[in-house]
Copies of this chain bind each other. A is one copy, B any other.
Amino acid sequence: MPAARRPAPSPTRRSPCPVAGALDLLGDKWTLLVVRDLFAGMKRYGEFAGGMEKIPTNLLADRLKRLTVAGLVTSSAYQDNPPRHEYALTPAGEALRPVMQELVNWGRRHLPGTMVRAEFTGNPADSPFLPAWIKLPGRRRK
């Protein structure tokens, strides 16, 4: 093999830069939010769709699909009829945890109005990067 200077910047890849590559996959307003929710333990479509940011359902379906083909997420059927499946992070998806963590650290320090659920502020161990407001059962209406 004579010249393999640089991997061909595929149609889905602007450049060999790791940042550019990551952004080609994750660089939009929703993808990392569903990753966040996966880290927060969400597994089913309805959970993601019910989150407080109200992601449009067509985009949710699309993002789950893209993350799946990219190998960051698995979808495994938990029932056949109608076909339903659960989503989970693969190791490659799990590997985004430090990115998430740093993004959260940054947001907490530099974005005014950032909040975390009181339940979590106490012991960061429970929720390493504050899923917050992610609706946990009950605990509303006094």
Contacts and interface: CB of A to CB of B under 8 A. Distances in A.
Interface residues of A, number: 53
A98 B102 contact: yes
Interface string A96-134: 101111111111111111111000000000000111110
Copies in the complex: 2
Given A95-B106, A98-B105, A102-B98, A114 B16 contact: yes
A110 B24 CA distance: 13
Interface in A67-106: 92, 95-96, 98-106
Given A7-B113, A10-B113, A115-B6, A104 B53 contact: no
Interface of A: 6-8, 10, 13-25, 27-30, 32-33, 36, 52-53, 92, 95-96, 98-116, 129-133
